[in-house]
Amino acid sequence: MINKFTAKQKFIAMLVAFVILLYLAVFKSFNPTFIQYQNLLENKIKINRVEGIQDSISFNQNKLNELNFFVGEVNVEFDRFQSVLLEELLRITAKYNVNVKSIDEPNYYITNGFEVQSMVLDLQGNFKNILKSIQALEKSKSTGRLISTSFQLIEDKQNKKVFLETKIYVQNYKRLN
């Protein structure tokens, strides 16, 4: 029966058989091996992550303890906080020749286990003196935390003067027990 085919037909048949065997060998036997090897590598990576997790947990716990200590370090009662802030603000603004335009009523809210008091201070003066005042407020631990500042240039057209107005947002935190 094989004698009936020409050499060309026999060659094509052998080539097709070789391609089919190659396909079966690679995709039916070797491919699952490669898939299992990839799974093995992924599992090794997961094991390495799990082995280092205890160090990561203790590191994060230490960081959290440091943060809790820092937040609790400057806890000042809210009533006292307002008077201390006002005294410190008056001292700083007199020193750097900055005018206190207004102090808004404090806002209170609770978030993430802390009671937060926010105050908005409006200052007016020149840029250099306002920056020195902001720096002094930041360094003073008893005046809470400086959260944000915004600057706005105000032009008085009647007097033909230009003023720099600054809003300073200060917060004090109190841990809820």
Predicted confidence pLDDT, tens digits, the chain (177 residues): 677 888 888 889 899 999 988 887 777 777 777 788 888 889 888 888 777 777 778 888 888 777 666 655 445 677 777 888 888 888 988 999 998 898 888 888 888 777 888 889 999 988 899 989 888 888 876 667 888 899 998 888 888 888 889 999 988 877 776
Report domain extents, the chain: 2-51, 76-175
Are 124 and 103 within 8 A, CB to CB?
A: no
Give the pLDDT of residue 167: 93
Give the pLDDT of residue 142: 67
Of the candidates 123, 127, 126, 129, the one whose C-alpha atom is nearest the C-alpha of residue 89 is 123
The CATH-assigned architecture of domain 76-175 is 2-Layer Sandwich (3.30)
